[in-house]
């Protein structure tokens, strides 16, 4: 089977609160998504990287992407939710390229620019022969509190066996399309959730905190620092 990557990049970044969608905010002089693309395009095992943009994205074409021209395919079919963007992207990827149901797809958030080579290669190594597929994740480090609506602690939750899901999330093309089509991705913020809804159990591959998702303004300077030391 071949490996390819799909990068949902059609969100608006509402929690970031900037007019520009966060994937285009500058990090060390380049738009955030530049680093995301660079991380995936750099892997010799990944034959093609699809990026899913919002249909009327005005920002993408303001930058020069020729560095990735051998591998990158742009799809302008983002939807209202992440799951919709991923499913639309998977379907139109098959129109432009020859993909078989058995191929592996690595879905990776545009908003995770600090993906390291070691984590990416480890994910592919450890899951290449897996029945289901899986995702990068880190064990929860902080103590977890559940609150009432007034932010008063109701109880402390055990963090035993709790993980924070990251991306890439790696599944067979056919299985992922089926999973997302059946569930519609409703109430799901990642791809593994749709696979789980089919009764399957994705594997967690130990990653580290450097592969953070840039969500709030404070994450930008942290991401910049990580990128400089990657």
- Interface with ligand CTP (CB under 6 A): 8-15, 23, 52, 78-82, 85, 109-111, 213, 215
Q: Output 23 or 119, the one with its CB closest to ligand CTP.
A: 23
CB of 87 to ligand CTP, least distance (A): 11
For the chain, give percent helix, strand, coil, nearest 5: 35, 25, 45
Strands 26-27 and 30-31: antiparallel
CB of 21 to ligand CTP, least distance (A): 6
CB of 167 to ligand CTP, least distance (A): 8
CB of 74 to ligand CTP, least distance (A): 13
CB of 154 to ligand CTP, least distance (A): 25
Q: Which residue is nearest to ligand CTP (CB)?
A: 11
CB of 25 to ligand CTP, least distance (A): 11
- Kindly report the backbone phi and psi dihedral angles of residue 171, in degrees, each rounded to the nearest multiple of 5, phi listed first: -140, 165
Strands 104-107 and 30-31: unpaired
Q: Output 102 or 216, the one with its CB closest to ligand CTP.
A: 216
CB of 134 to ligand CTP, least distance (A): 18
Q: Output 68 or 126, the one with its CB closest to ligand CTP.
A: 68
d(CA 128, CA 226): 28
Q: Output 90 or 111, the one with its CB closest to ligand CTP.
A: 111
- Tell me the H-state helices in the chain: 32-41, 82-96, 117-127, 173-183, 191-196, 217-229
What is the residue whose two structure tokens read 């905190």?
Answer: 209
Q: Output 85 or 119, the one with its CB closest to ligand CTP.
A: 85
In contact, 23 and 9? CB cutoff 8 Å: yes
3-class DSSP state of 136:
strand
Chain centre distance of CA 30: 19
What is the residue whose two structure tokens read 């009764």?
Answer: 199
* Surface-to-core class of residue 146, CB atoms within 10 Å of its CB (0-12 exposed, 13-18 middle, 19+ buried): exposed
Q: Output 50 or 104, the one with its CB closest to ligand CTP.
A: 50
Q: Output 110 or 204, the one with its CB closest to ligand CTP.
A: 110
């Amino acid at each position: 089977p071949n490996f390819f990557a799909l990068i949902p990049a059609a969100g608006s970044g509402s929690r970031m609160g900037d007019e520009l969608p966060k994937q285009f905010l500058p990090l060390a002089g380049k738009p955030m998504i530049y680093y995301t693309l660079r991380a995936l395009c750099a892997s010799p095992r990944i034959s093609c990287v699809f990026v899913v943009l919002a249909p009327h994205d005005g920002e993408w074409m303001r930058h020069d992407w020729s560095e990735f021209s051998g591998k990158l395919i742009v799809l302008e079919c983002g939807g209202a939710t992440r799951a919709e963007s991923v499913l639309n992207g998977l379907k139109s990827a098959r129109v432009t390229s020859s993909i078989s149901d058995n191929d592996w797809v690595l879905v990776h958030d545009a908003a995770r620019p600090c993906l390291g080579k070691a984590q990416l290669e480890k994910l592919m190594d450890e899951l290449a022969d897996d029945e289901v597929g899986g995702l990068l994740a880190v064990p929860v480090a902080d103590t977890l509190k559940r609150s009432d609506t007034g932010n008063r602690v109701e109880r402390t939750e055990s963090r035993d066996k709790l993980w924070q899901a990251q991306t890439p999330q790696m599944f067979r093309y056919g299985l992922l399309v089926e999973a997302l089509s059946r569930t519609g991705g409703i109430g799901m913020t990642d791809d593994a959730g749709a696979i789980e809804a089919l009764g399957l159990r994705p594997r967690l591959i130990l990653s580290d905190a450097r592969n953070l998702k840039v969500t709030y303004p404070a994450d930008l300077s942290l991401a910049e620092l990580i990128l400089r030391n990657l």
